[in-house]
Structure 1
Amino acid sequence: MSFSPQSRVWIYQSNRKFSSVEQAEILKKLEAFTNQWKAHGNELLAKAEIRYGYFIILTVDERQANVTGCSIDSSVRLIKEIEQEYHVDLFNRFNIAYKVNDDVVVNGKEDFETLVNIKQVTTDTIVFNNMVQTLEELNTKWEIPFKNSWHSTVFAHLL
């Protein structure tokens, strides 16, 4: 199934890594959801995935049908259910994900700020820009060096 580069994406970042068992269970839930996801009765061409054990990514190709407020609400309800069932935080925008070697690490804003301050996070550290909105942006602007990200403007005073 081929998705347009302009497909919309939503990224939900967990505050902890899902176990492989949890990932399998969550993917089943997500698949069941995306297979029946509709907008005003029209089926949405959608897929879900988990990347790095931390990120739930929903993708909808709007060439088939446009996403509506109601359909977005239904996806948010599902994500909230997953959040409660697995005792994770998927909506905290102050949790910041970055890479150390090839491992993903998630820290709260204060801890991240400290790491920037003590140069454990540098301008070249890869950070995750969960604000991307399209599949094309996911592929090109999601994993980017700190210096090219919104993070660098928020933490500029520390650089």
Structure 2
Amino acid sequence: MLVDFDTLPDESRVWIYQANRSFSDEELSDIEEKLKVFLEAWTAHGSDLKAGYTIKYKRFIIIALDQELQSATGCSIDASVHFIQQLEQAYQVDLMDKMNVSYKQGEFVAYKPLIEFRKMAKDKAVSKNTIVFNNLVNNITEFKENWEVPASESWHSRFVK
């Protein structure tokens, strides 16, 4: 059951998929339609899942699930991963690699492999004040408070001094 992302409780579980490039407006329109269809039909053991989505900066797909009504199961999570893999193939984009880092350079969102980000930190090209995206947040509260933060306040802190 698809609901507006902003109406979901703060405890709702989130999954964040970052793209290795920005989506075009046309791609975003198509992806939103596919997300609506998928989430409207998403179930766990035959029960509807109350879920919503948002897309940020034309590159982050965030899916949230209200687990008070029905929790995700292994099968329902597998279905969502399969759906994201279909998007990867359809748009020739990487959405599943968690070993990449997105960060802000002014208003621009940059994307680097972790190895390159570590080198940039060593070379002082990024700092503890660089705004990074912590895609490891677990729920909407964490998403609101700890997703877009200075590197010093995220797991990225181990690379910046």
The verdict on a shared fold, with TM-score over 0.5 as the criterion, is yes
Aligned equivalent of 1:130: 135
Counterpart of 1:99 in 2: which secondary structure?
Answer: strand
The residue aligned with 2:83 is 78
Corresponding residue for 2:99?
94
Comparing 42-51 with 133-142, greater Cα deviation is found at: 42-51
* Equivalences for residues 43-122 of structure 1 within 5 A: 43-122=48-127
Q: 1:110 Cα deviation (Å)?
A: 2.4
**AA paired with 1:38?**
T
Long gaps (5+) in structure 2 = none
Return the match for 1:6 from 3, 11, 31.
11
Q: CA deviation at 1:124?
A: 0.5
Deviations 1:8-29 (A, max 9, x none): 0000111111111111101110
Which amino acid in 1 is paired with 2:84?
Answer: I
Match of 2:43 among 18, 38, 48: 38
Return the letter of the residue paired with 1:107. K
Alignment partners' CA distance in 1, 2:9 and 2:31? 25
Deviation at 1:118, TM superposition (A): 2.2
Structure 1 counterpart of 2:34, from 29, 45, 49: 29
> What does the per-residue CA deviation read over 1:78-109, in whole Å, with 9 as the maximum and x for residues that have no partner?
00000011111111112100001122111112
* Cα distance per residue 1:51-104 (max 9 Å; x no partner): 111111110011211111111110000000000111111111121000011221
Q: Please, which of 139, 143, 147 is the counterpart of residue 142 of structure 1?
A: 147
| Identity over aligned pairs, percent | 42
How far, CA to CA, are the matches of 2:36 and 2:113 in structure 1?
30
Output the CA distance in 2 between the equivalents of 1:81 and 1:48.
17
| Distance of 2:139 and 2:64 partners within structure 1 | 8
TM-aligned CA deviation for residue 114 of structure 1: 2.4
Structure 2 Cα separation of the partners of residues 95 and 17 of structure 1: 15
Structure 1: tracts of 5 or more residues without a match: none
What secondary structure is seen at the aligned counterpart in 2 of 1:151?
helix
Give the stretch that moved more between structures: 87-96 or 112-121. 112-121
The corresponding residue for 2:22 is: 17
TM-score after normalising by structure 2? 0.93
The aligned length equals 156
